[in-house]
Amino acid sequence: MKKKNLAMIGCGTVGQGLLRIIAEKKPDLNVVAISDKLKGAIFDPNGIDVSKMLDVLENDGKIEEYKSASKKAITGLDPIETIKNCNADIMAEMTYTDIETGQPATSYIETALEQGMHVTTSNKGPAALYHAKLAKLAAKNNVQFLIEGTVMSGTPVFNLARETLTGCKITEVKGILNGTTNYILTKMENEGWSYNDALKKAQELGFAEADPTADVEGFDALAKVVILSNYLLEGNIKPDEVPRQGINEISLENIRSAAEEGLRYKLIGSTKLEGESISAYVKPVKLDLSDPLAGVGGATNALTFNTDLLGEVTIQGPGAGKIETGFSIFVDIMTILRQDS
């Protein structure tokens, strides 16, 4: 069977995490194109040597510094040109999230789907704003549009719902969906750190978004709540319909007085079916310490599914990180390869 070809749009932290996993696990796959706004682009129909490319990128080099053995390699194409010319079977979209517009990622995904490519993305913008439209376009072109990396990075949320909870009706999902804010709250409560010191450390550790306002004011968790609502509860809600409050106004004093009452602040994202409609929010909630979500500390994420057949099922795991989010793209690619063989 002919190896499938992969095009990667965006090759920052997530893209490099994916390349590292491909180099190690050696799936039946040719990486034929990589295009990144900051690092440059290459299309090589004979396949890119992933380990050699990683040597360049992990040393802060540009894609053009990679020496291809193939005479057919072309450099410098922009993302749309790359998608249109690379003849890939699968496109992995891993550019930065713009929660307000979903662009330019949405146009990359539309172009790839129109070319008949399967698409996987870790980008919350297109998934939160245009999931229904993109899923329809994928169905029209007989390909898959998978989004495992948009919520809880590689910890299985959509795979779990789609494969393992098949037959269960999910009526509510609620959880800790942002690692940065959970890290900040944990450091403030356990080690008495100031909000600013904890945020600075979360940025250094690489969990925070390029603009950390998205984390602390709840926009990142909001995008995830919208994605969960529309994908798992089959809703059709938009980000501006969901009440949102972040953790930026929670003081050390608030956290201490909650602890004295035996409670703990967590930034909770929740969405619930109420009859035909959906009721969702993002806000700091004082949880009883017996709540499974109260025990989840640091940058870890957790999600409780409420289902008709099993009651509550809670999962916990990483929600950010290079290998963790790279894995979410890898697992979507494996799903596509399995179903497309």
Which positions are catalytic? 224
Q: Least separation, in Å, of the C-beta of 179 and ligand HSE?
A: 4
Q: Residue 54 corresponds to which amino acid?
A: L
Nearer residue to ligand HSE within complex by CB, 152 or 232: 152
- Rounded to 10°, the helix 179-191/195-204 angle is 130
Q: Least separation, in Å, of the C-beta of 301 and ligand HSE?
A: 7
Whether 308 and 171 have beta carbons less than 8 Å apart is answered as yes
Integer Cα distance of 240 and 77 in angstroms:
36
Integer Cα distance of 242 and 222 in angstroms:
7
178 touches ligand HSE (CB under 6 A): yes
Tokens of 225: 């709540």
Nearer residue to ligand HSE within complex by CB, 74 or 160: 160
Which listed residue (208, 232, 233, 336) binds ligand HSE by CB under 6 A? Answer: 208
Q: Least separation, in Å, of the C-beta of 49 and ligand HSE?
A: 30
Beta-bridged to residue 315, according to DSSP, are: 303
Residue with tokens 């600013």: 196
Site size for ligand HSE (CB under 6 A) = 10
235 touches ligand HSE (CB under 6 A): no
Specify the stretch interacting with ligand HSE by CB under 6 A; choose among 18-26, 174-182, 233-241, 304-312.
174-182
Nearer residue to ligand HSE within complex by CB, 95 or 180: 180
Whether 338 and 125 have beta carbons less than 8 Å apart is answered as no
Site for ligand HSE, residues 215 to 234, rule: CB under 6 A: 215, 220
For residue 312, with 0-12 CB atoms within 10 Å meaning exposed, 13-18 middle and 19 or more buried, which class applies?
exposed
Beta-bridged to residue 312, according to DSSP, are: 306
17 touches ligand HSE (CB under 6 A): no
207 touches ligand HSE (CB under 6 A): yes
Q: Least separation, in Å, of the C-beta of 204 and ligand HSE?
A: 13
Whether 9 and 92 have beta carbons less than 8 Å apart is answered as yes
- Rounded to 10°, the helix 124-140/105-114 angle is 10
Which listed residue (36, 93, 148, 209) binds ligand HSE by CB under 6 A? Answer: 209
Integer Cα distance of 247 and 176 in angstroms:
13
Specify the stretch interacting with ligand HSE by CB under 6 A; choose among 45-53, 173-181, 189-197, 330-338.
173-181
Site for ligand HSE, residues 262 to 321, rule: CB under 6 A: 319-320
> Given the rule CB under 6 A, which residues bind ligand HSE?
178-180, 207-209, 215, 220, 319-320
